[in-house]
């Protein structure tokens, strides 16, 4: 075997919020693609199938499990958007300082949770 340096791996890097934001960005994008597509297709199919099927869809989405799915999709959307904005700023060359990167990572995670909570508070309390 050649004596060459090994690639960095997770054992070398110190865990930070920027790593969590990166992972959550991927998870939220995949969640919207898979779960969101399933819900969209189910909704469109129920809408096209008539009032009885649409009523079944709305009953299911109005259940506690349905609310969990919808709240999760809402969080995924805002998390992915906030992280995308953060990455857009990084693409301009700004925000690579460690403290700035760490702060914007925390802000993007908390902003997604806060916006999701505000929207669902409005929906549920009106």
Per the annotation, binding residues for heme are 80
Whose CA is closest to 38, among 57, 62, 63, 59? 57
Whose CA is closest to 21, among 111, 88, 108? 108
**Cα(77)–Cα(73) distance, integer angstroms:** 6
Helix (H), strand (E) at residue 80: helix 64-91
Alpha helices in the chain (DSSP H): 17-31, 37-49, 51-61, 64-91, 98-125
Q: Which residues are known binding-site members?
A: 80
- Name the token pair of 13: 């890097």
């Amino acid at each position: 075997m050649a004596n060459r340096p090994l690639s960095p791996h997770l054992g070398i890097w110190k865990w930070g919020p920027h790593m969590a934001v990166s992972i959550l960005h991927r998870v939220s994008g995949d969640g919207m693609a898979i779960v969101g597509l399933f819900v969209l297709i189910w909704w469109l199919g129920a809408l096209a199938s008539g009032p009885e099927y649409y009523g079944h869809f709305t009953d299911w989405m109005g259940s506690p499990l349905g609310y969990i799915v919808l709240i999760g999709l809402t969080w995924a959307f805002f998390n992915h958007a906030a992280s995308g904005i953060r990455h857009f700023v990084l693409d301009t060359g700004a925000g690579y300082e460690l403290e700035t990167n760490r702060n914007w990572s925390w802000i993007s995670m908390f902003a997604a949770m806060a916006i999701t909570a505000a929207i669902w508070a409005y929906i549920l309390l009106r």
